[in-house]
Amino acid sequence: MPASGSGASVLADVYLEDCNLGFTPRWEFQPDLDKMRMTIQAIFRTENVHIKHFAEGCFNKLYEVQINDQAPLLLRVALPVDPQNKTISEVATIQWVSAITDFPIPNVIHYDASRDSPITYEWILMSKLPGARLEVTWRHLTPVCPIVR
């Protein structure tokens, strides 16, 4: 069921699926890999762009982007939950944390907080940090109680 209301709704244009715990946002249609590729090709002015699925969460899908022989990038495509505000806030937060800390954090390469691009969803293209994914290492982490205190 599409979320009701005008564009002012926090869940504007999001497909909501009824489940045991209430309504859950769902992708009404899958992001198109060819449209993603064309968008990245236009930004980098090259035909040599390869995109593959990397991971996904409730509100985002992540794709690994390989351009020529450069280091891989990540393209984060988002459901229009709180349209424009969510993506703009995430970009600003990444840039702010990067400016005031030494934490390893991805660089934002490009983004579109509208649904006017060929991808038709909001997206952020960012650098990919080295290391293992948290879902792989989570079960092997040691307790960090002294650090938290």
pLDDT digits (tens, 9 = 90+) for 55-66: 988 889 999 999
Measured between alpha carbons, how far is 24 from 126 in angstroms, rounded to an integer?
27
Question: What share of the chain has pLDDT > 70, as a percent?
Answer: 83
Is residue 92 packed enough to be buried (19+ CB in 10 Å), middle (13-18) or exposed (0-12)?
A: exposed
Place of tokens 């040691």: 142
State residue 132's pLDDT score: 80
Residue 147 banded pLDDT, cuts 50, 70, 90: low
Window from 17-21, 57-61, 75-79 with minimum mean pLDDT: 17-21
Q: Which two tokens stand for residue 142?
A: 């040691």
Measured between alpha carbons, how far is 70 from 78 in angstroms, rounded to an integer?
24
pTM for this model (two decimals): 0.80
Measured between alpha carbons, how far is 65 from 126 in angstroms, rounded to an integer?
10
The DSSP letter of residue 146 is: H
Write down all domains in the chain, each with its CATH number in brackets.
31-130 (3.30.200.20)
Is the predicted pLDDT of residue 48 greater than 80, yes or no? yes
